């Protein structure tokens, strides 16, 4: 487990890209969360970023509290009448005890002080409430040459700038012991979840710039982090305005408080 006493804002340098270029989660993800939850009055989306998951949850819950330790991220959030955004670290939500039916963490659990966060989950969840966490793997296109460039960028260009917590994402969160009993999502073995979007080259580049490691490289080298792969990526993509299908395998784990 990883514990940080000081909250580090890994996305302050890339918040403008994060809000605009991060992918949207599939509807089936939120249906599974809703089906696992007995009541649907109040959801807490922790480390909401720019609010992608929070706004989706608003379609299933009466109200959503969306917190993030990064004020810069919340400045890019999508407004919704059911969603209340505020700055708060994962381990200190400010929510009332036993006030939440579901807690969601989208692609962010690896940044948390886990023991303290799980204690907060125990405090704020109602009996029978759920904690749902998910993460997605490195993107893939239908063109192998593009995938090879992305892999090279991920491992060799920005690789040294990834915070150590990123290893938990590469492991699909399998090594993290969650605090409550895990639900058996048998249907996902037959039909795994995935994010899928059709993007232009500009959107892909914006997404790559939204990575925390890209922000750290730019801060260290004072240059566009994509400069070293720009020509090769442009050639592999072809016509820049042409859309290509991008896919991210998604891992969902849901636990239920007794």
pLDDT at 212: 85
- Judged against a pLDDT cut of 80, whether residue 81 lies above it is answered with yes
Q: Is residue 86 part of a domain?
A: yes
How many separate domains does the chain show?
A: 1
Task: Please state, in angstroms and rounded to a whole number, the distance separating the CA atoms of residues 67 and 69.
Answer: 7
pLDDT at 248: 95
Q: Is residue 121 part of a domain?
A: yes
Q: What is the CATH number of the domain that holds 207?
A: 3.40.50.150
Give the model's confidence band at 6: pLDDT under 50 very low, under 70 low, under 90 confident, else very high: very low
Task: Please state, in angstroms and rounded to a whole number, the distance separating the CA atoms of residues 105 and 158.
Answer: 25
Task: Find the mean pLDDT for residues 54-74.
Answer: 95
pLDDT at 185: 87
Q: Is residue 215 part of a domain?
A: yes
Task: Find the mean pLDDT for residues 139-161.
Answer: 96
pLDDT at 4: 36
Q: Exposure string (b/e) for 13-31, b if CB count within 10 Å is 16 or more?
A: bbbbbbbebbbebbeebbe
One-letter-per-residue 3-state SS of 105-148: EECCHHHCCHHHHHHHHHHHEEEEEEEEEEEECCCEECCHHHHH
- Judged against a pLDDT cut of 80, whether residue 14 lies above it is answered with no
Task: Please state, in angstroms and rounded to a whole number, the distance separating the CA atoms of residues 139 and 127.
Answer: 37
Q: Is residue 7 part of a domain?
A: no
Mean pLDDT taken over the chain: 91
Give the model confidence (pLDDT) of 32-41 as tens digits: 999 999 999 9
Q: Is residue 1 part of a domain?
A: no
Task: Please state, in angstroms and rounded to a whole number, the distance separating the CA atoms of residues 94 and 69.
Answer: 12
- Judged against a pLDDT cut of 70, whether residue 11 lies above it is answered with no
Give the model confidence (pLDDT) of 180-232 as tens digits: 999 998 888 788 999 999 999 999 999 999 898 998 999 899 889 999 999 99
Q: Is residue 172 part of a domain?
A: yes
- Domain that includes residue 134, residue range: 15-256
Q: Is residue 6 part of a domain?
A: no
pTM for the full predicted model = 0.88
Q: Is residue 29 part of a domain?
A: yes
Task: Please state, in angstroms and rounded to a whole number, the distance separating the CA atoms of residues 2 and 202.
Answer: 35
């Amino acid at each position: 487990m990883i514990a940080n006493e000081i909250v580090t804002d890994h996305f302050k340098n890339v918040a403008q890209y994060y809000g605009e270029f991060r992918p949207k989660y599939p509807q089936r993800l939120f249906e599974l969360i809703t089906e696992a939850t007995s009541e649907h009055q109040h959801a807490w989306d922790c480390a909401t970023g720019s609010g992608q998951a929070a706004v989706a949850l608003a379609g299933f819950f009466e109200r959503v509290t969306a917190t993030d330790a990064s004020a810069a991220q919340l400045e890019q959030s999508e407004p919704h009448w059911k969603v209340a955004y505020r700055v708060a670290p994962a381990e200190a939500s400010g929510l009332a005890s036993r006030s939440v039916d579901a807690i969601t963490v989208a692609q962010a659990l690896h940044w948390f002080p886990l023991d303290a966060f799980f204690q907060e989950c125990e405090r704020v969840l109602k009996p029978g409430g759920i904690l749902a966490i998910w993460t997605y793997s490195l993107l893939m296109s239908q063109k192998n040459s593009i995938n090879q460039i992305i892999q090279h960028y991920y491992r060799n260009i920005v690789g040294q700038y990834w915070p150590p917590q990123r290893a938990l994402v590469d492991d699909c969160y399998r090594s993290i012991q969650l605090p409550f009993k895990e639900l058996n999502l048998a249907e996902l073995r037959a039909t795994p979840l995935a994010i899928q979007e059709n993007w232009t080259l500009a959107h892909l580049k914006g997404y790559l710039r939204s990575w925390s490691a890209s922000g750290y490289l730019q801060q260290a080298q004072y240059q566009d982090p994509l400069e070293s792969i720009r020509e090769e990526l442009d050639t592999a993509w072809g016509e820049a305005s042409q859309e290509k299908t991008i896919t991210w395998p998604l891992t969902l784990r849901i636990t239920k408080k007794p």
